[in-house]
Amino acid sequence: MEIPVTEKNTFDDNFATLDCVVDETGVARVTLNRPDVHNAFNEAMIEELTRCFLQLGSHDGVRVIVLASAGNVFCAGADLNWMKRASANRADANIQDARRFASMMQALHACSRPIVARVQGGAFGGGVGLICVCDIVVASEQARFAVTEARFGILPAVIGPYLIEAVGVRQARRLALTASLIDAAEARDLGLVHYVTTSEGLDGQVQKVVSGLTGNGPTALQEIKTLFGDIAGRPIDGNVTDLTAATIARVRSTEEAKEGFSAFFDKRPAAWSVK
């Protein structure tokens, strides 16, 4: 599915369901802000998340994105009132509604900037999908996860490819079929989560990850996301090896790469490094 292109370096922060702030180091912090409904997403949040990440991913001043949420629950998934409304729609309206959700997921998954999820509490249904499209996930020990769609007589169709990418087919199938609740430690074992920490240590661990990212070449990070997205799931044949050779040949001749090598030999931080 194609994602609409947003104009480079434009940003509209007029959001009703989100907060978005970009600091002087290029770190954007996007906060789901519907705590009264456990940050469940409806039509408005879907549109705003799509618009927000398209803008952030095309803005030269943005290097890293942190996805967080207000309140005690990270994201309860789809707003059930929205799902009920959608189920009553005509077939054509229903498919358009579902495609908007799919476009939102793809906008995050295809975002050229690294996305770090800060998960302080529960993530259920589509909330698990949001975690799957992030590159690095930091969770509190109190976080809980469940792919709950089957409990409502539906299935995790749109988030399915991202769940499979994150944990593999067999574990994704188990989570979807059983709708079982797992804790943060099991989520880490499955690959859904990368770091588990205390509630008090959550922000410190997120900052540690962000600092590691901002110490790396910003264009290099974008190149990694693009290349890995291109080769994921493909056989390692001549087409893939040609692509990887062409990519490194092109990137190592860039000004960013030259600065990186110079900084290493000069024993100094690179010009882009922010700690």
Length of the chain: 275
Q: Is residue 271 part of a domain?
A: no
Q: Of 172, 194, 214, which residue is a domain's last?
A: 214
Domain identity same for 109 and 227: no
pLDDT greater than 70 at residue 1: no
Q: What's at 86, amino acid-wise? A: A
Paired strand residues for 19:
31
Domain identity same for 138 and 252: no
User: What would the pLDDT profile of 18-38 be if each residue is shown by its tens digit?
Assistant: 999 999 999 999 999 999 999
Residue span of the structural domain in which 68 resides: 18-214
Neighbours of 143 (CB within 10 A): 25
Number of domains in the chain: 2
Please classify residue 216 by burial: count the beta carbons closer than 10 Å to its beta carbon, then call 0-12 exposed, 13-18 middle and 19+ buried: middle
Domain identity same for 195 and 130: yes
Domain identity same for 141 and 181: yes
CA 135 to CA 191: how far, in whole Å? 11
Domain identity same for 260 and 179: no
**pLDDT (0 to 100) of residue 56:** 95
Q: Is residue 156 part of a domain?
A: yes
**pLDDT (0 to 100) of residue 244:** 97
Q: Of 214, 236, 257, which residue is a domain's last?
A: 214
**pLDDT (0 to 100) of residue 197:** 98
Calculate what percentage of the chain has a pLDDT beyond 90.
85
User: What would the pLDDT profile of 121-170 be if each residue is shown by its tens digit?
Assistant: 999 999 999 999 999 999 999 999 999 999 999 999 999 999 999 999 99
Domain identity same for 24 and 124: yes
Domain identity same for 114 and 151: yes
Domain identity same for 122 and 155: yes
pLDDT greater than 90 at residue 92: no
Predicted model pTM: 0.93
